């Protein structure tokens, strides 16, 4: 009889243990943003060129000889023949995932590709190809998710995040993992407060994404030094050997740095609240000089002699409610002052070549302006606009 009782007791104990374990964990379904990944293998696949690709989300604009290079943010680089500035000719689109900014020394281009620094040979624009790459040298940034629903954790081992997908998420939850009055559910370090309404549906859910938009790497070159700035770190690379950059320094330039422009011995950093100016007479050791304050906004900047051109735009994580072009006098480098402001549609990037000012004005396309008189900047002609395809 005892031999029969023992197994029954054992089974009952095991059942009780399993039941108790089930009580310690539940599953919660909720609506949230899940990351969409690109594998590192796909990120580092061969770079290819395509024809007849339209501008959709133009960003950084760069000039070299008779060519204009326009970044299609996070997608690739458009190349235009600018021999006739009034009518740029589309040449090629180079696919480069995660690109936000570029800089060129000779015929060697440096570009970001999410976490990688990529080196490209652009001597022949019909055969642009990769000649070097430093992997995992840039911060792991992700595009912003929506704020109306929580975002789940990122698994960096799966690759880089190229977007977010709103879907129903089933998550394992430990019951009462803390003594707070409302349960806080954790997922890889990301937490959000959850409450239920009378019907049992989610309401009042709050949470933040893991990425920040509009603050990826920005590039600049002085001699044999390449600068890469990302939000609050300035990375300094020696590019004496152009195809194999080597990092020599990390410098803290301040917070919320968005863009960079180099002119002579000065570095101009656009931030969300203004323009910081650094002395780079010693290229590996920038020295802070002054700061020009403007309304809060993302602000690309270019400089020509004694004038700085700054575009401010809305619709970003930088905040602000202005879409405009500011012309700032830097004749006295320690006392910048506004010369004129112009309304814009939604300016993203700009460049200057002589008296010509080029602005990627959001959905209004690439515009070419006559900026010979900074107090009377005018659109050259309607035909000068390269349209953006929505």
pLDDT, tens only, 108-127: 999 999 999 999 999 999 99
CA 321 to chain centre: 20
Please report whether residue 78 resides in a domain: no
d(CA 289, CA 336): 11
Triad 360, 361, 362: Cα angle to 5°:
100
Which domain, by its residues, includes 202? 26-40+146-211
d(CA 163, CA 185): 23
Residue given tokens 């900026």 in the structure block: 371
The whole-number pLDDT of residue 257 equals 80
Q: What is the number of structural domains in the chain?
A: 1
d(CA 75, CA 213): 15
Spell out a b/e string for 169-183, using b for 16 or more CB atoms within 10 Å of the CB, else e: bebeeeeeeeeeeeb
Q: Which positions of the chain have pLDDT values less than 50?
A: 1-6, 9-12, 14-23, 176-217, 295-297, 381-384, 386, 389-390
Determine if the pTM surpasses 0.75: no
Contact 227, 241 (CB under 8 A): no
Tokens for 280? 């780079």
Please report whether residue 193 resides in a domain: yes
Please report whether residue 184 resides in a domain: yes
d(CA 252, CA 305): 27
Please report whether residue 160 resides in a domain: yes
The whole-number pLDDT of residue 22 equals 44
Please report whether residue 30 resides in a domain: yes
CB neighbour list of residue 300: distance below 8 Å, 6 or more residues apart: 60, 258, 259, 270, 310, 311, 347, 348, 349, 350
Helix%, strand%, coil% for the chain, nearest 5:
10, 50, 40
The whole-number pLDDT of residue 20 equals 44
CB neighbour list of residue 325: distance below 8 Å, 6 or more residues apart: 309, 310, 311, 341, 342, 344, 347, 350, 359, 377
pLDDT, tens only, 44-68: 998 889 988 888 887 777 888 888 8
Please report whether residue 21 resides in a domain: no
Residue given tokens 């390449």 in the structure block: 226
Residue 315: other Cβ atoms inside 10 A = 13
Please report whether residue 203 resides in a domain: yes
Please report whether residue 194 resides in a domain: yes
The whole-number pLDDT of residue 319 equals 54
342 by Cβ neighbours in 10 Å (0-12 / 13-18 / 19+) ranks as: middle
């Amino acid at each position: 009889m005892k031999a029969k009782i023992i197994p029954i007791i054992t089974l009952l104990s095991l059942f009780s243990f399993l039941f108790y374990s089930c009580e310690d964990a539940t599953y919660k379904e909720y609506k949230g943003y899940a990351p969409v990944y690109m594998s590192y293998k796909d990120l580092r696949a061969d770079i290819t060129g395509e024809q007849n690709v339209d501008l959709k989300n133009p960003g950084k604009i760069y000039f070299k000889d008779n060519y204009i290079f326009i970044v299609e943010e996070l997608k690739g680089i458009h190349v235009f023949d600018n021999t006739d500035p009034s009518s740029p000719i589309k040449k090629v689109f180079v696919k480069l995932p995660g690109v936000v900014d570029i800089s060129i020394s000779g015929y060697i281009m440096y570009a970001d590709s999410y976490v990688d620094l990529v080196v490209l040979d652009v001597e022949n624009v019909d055969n642009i190809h990769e000649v070097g790459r430093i992997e995992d040298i840039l911060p792991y940034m992700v595009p912003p998710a929506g704020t109306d629903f929580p975002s789940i954790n990122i698994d960096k081992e799966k690759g880089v995040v190229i977007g977010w997908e709103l879907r129903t998420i089933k998550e394992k939850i430990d019951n009462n993992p803390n003594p707070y009055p409302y349960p806080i559910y954790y997922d890889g370090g990301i937490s959000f407060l959850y409450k239920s309404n009378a019907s049992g549906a989610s309401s009042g859910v709050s949470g933040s994404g893991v990425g920040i938009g509009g603050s990826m790497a920005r590039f600049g070159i002085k001699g044999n030094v390449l600068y890469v700035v990302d939000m609050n770190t300035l990375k300094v690379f020696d590019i004496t050997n152009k195809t194999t950059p080597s990092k020599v320094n990390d410098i803290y330039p301040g917070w919320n740095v968005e863009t960079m422009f180099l002119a002579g011995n000065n570095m101009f950093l656009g931030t969300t609240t203004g323009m910081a100016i650094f002395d780079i007479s010693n290229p590996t050791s920038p020295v802070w000089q002054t700061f020009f304050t403007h309304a809060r906004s993302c602000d690309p900047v270019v400089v020509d002699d004694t004038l700085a051109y700054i575009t401010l735009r809305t619709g970003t994580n930088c905040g602000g409610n202005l879409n405009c072009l500011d012309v700032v006098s830097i004749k006295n480098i320690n006392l910048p002052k506004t010369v004129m402001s112009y309304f814009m549609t939604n300016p993203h990037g700009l460049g200057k070549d002589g008296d010509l000012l080029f602005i990627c004005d959001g959905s209004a396309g690439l515009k070419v302006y006559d900026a010979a008189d900074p107090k009377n900047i005018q659109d050259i002609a309607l035909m000068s606009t390269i349209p953006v395809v929505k």
